[in-house]
Amino acid sequence: NYTILPTGEYRWGNVLTTLLVPQRSLLLGLPLALVVITLWWQAMNAEEKRARRLLAGAGCLAGLLPLAHVHSLTVLLATAACLALLFGRWRAWAAFFGVALLLALPQLVWLARGASIQARNFLAWQVGWDRGQQNPLWFWLLNAGLFLPLLGLALLLGRRLVPLQTIRFSVPFLLWFLIPNLFRMSPWIWDNVKFLIYWYLASIPLVALLLARLAGRGWPGRLAAVALAAGLMLSGAIDVWRVVSGAIDYPIFDRDSLAVADAIAGATPPQALVLRAPTFNSPVLLSGRRSLLGYPGHIWSQGVDGGRREEEIRLMYQAGPTGVGLRARHDVRYVLVGPQERSLGPLNEPFFERSRKLVEHGPYTLYDLHTPP
């Protein structure tokens, strides 16, 4: 791997393969946030009445974010507060905050109601992001490469590159490099990347402009700009090429899983609760049916405490007196038995054979515990 390693040397992964493809909510949150930021920029150069309309429109879009991507909403609200301090125009910014909070607060209240998220797991002091034992400066030079020195040069040159207003507009986004490098803002430290990405995206135009100005200084400047651009993009380009060329492949669901998922969806009601192993590749995930527990490695990173639920699932598959009681308590009617469930440990299949088989395909069987065979 050229941009991210499990051993910890490289953690600033390629944006396409580590963020845009696997993190589906970012595909909605990021474009909405970029439209909001664009409206901010237009409002900075507009007369008061139009600025108020633009910022109210930006507030409408920002207010849609809680159900899409809460990290993006957090970035927008904090950055907007900084921009309001830098640029003034309080009435216009009041329109943004008023509309955004009016739309966002009901969603946030709804999300928080009955949630098992442990808020205390989200904020802690941790310097240097996901550096492990590496020196923070060396870690970032290794991961960001030429980007940090070029960004520093672009900011240093300042008004020789862009108007002062552009620099002022960019400065608050530097907080999204500083803060995630001082604090852990998610249970899994790597997830700070959801904030770092906004510093990166806001900084790209400055670095690109620096390279463009360099390319305008004759052939030596053009060669230097091309070399620097290649140094900035080559490792990411190799990572993307390995994906699109099929050089790497991570199977998640096989044909049996897809067929079983369709069969479960057809054989059970939409709100059915299906007992299954808490893995990332269970067919139940594709069926749209509810589960007792998601993949522990993922729910932990979202601040959700699975508690004893994983052990309870094992006991239910063992079908002893405790397991039978737990199934009754959770009102479990449907049980999937497949390769993932057999890997949990002892499995009392003869017990489940006393119930009706709703689905049987390949290594998978779905039982209806409320109906005899």
- Mean pLDDT across 5-27: 90
Tell me what pLDDT residue 236 has: 92
Decide if pLDDT at 1 tops 90. no
The torsion angles phi and psi of 358, rounded to 5 degrees, stand at -80, -35
Instruction: Convert the pLDDT of each residue in 185-217 to its tens digit.
Output: 989 999 999 999 999 999 999 999 999 999 999
Residue 127 structure tokens:
């310097």
Tell me what pLDDT residue 34 has: 96
- Mean pLDDT across 226-253: 91
Tell me what pLDDT residue 367 has: 97
Tell me what pLDDT residue 345 has: 87
Lowest mean pLDDT among 39-53, 301-315, 359-373: 301-315
Instruction: Convert the pLDDT of each residue in 157-187 to its tens digit.
Output: 888 888 888 889 999 999 999 999 999 998 9
- Mean pLDDT across 328-346: 93
Tell me what pLDDT residue 306 has: 78
Say how far apart CA 154 and CA 113 lie, in whole Å.
46
Tell me what pLDDT residue 119 has: 66
Decide if pLDDT at 62 tops 70. yes
Decide if pLDDT at 118 tops 80. no
Strands 334-337 and 356-361: unpaired
Decide if pLDDT at 79 tops 90. yes
Q: Considering the chain, what percentage of its residues have pLDDT values greater than 70?
A: 99
Amino acid at 293: L
Residue 271 — very low, low, confident or very high, per pLDDT cuts 50/70/90? very high
Tell me what pLDDT residue 114 has: 72
Tell me what pLDDT residue 257 has: 95
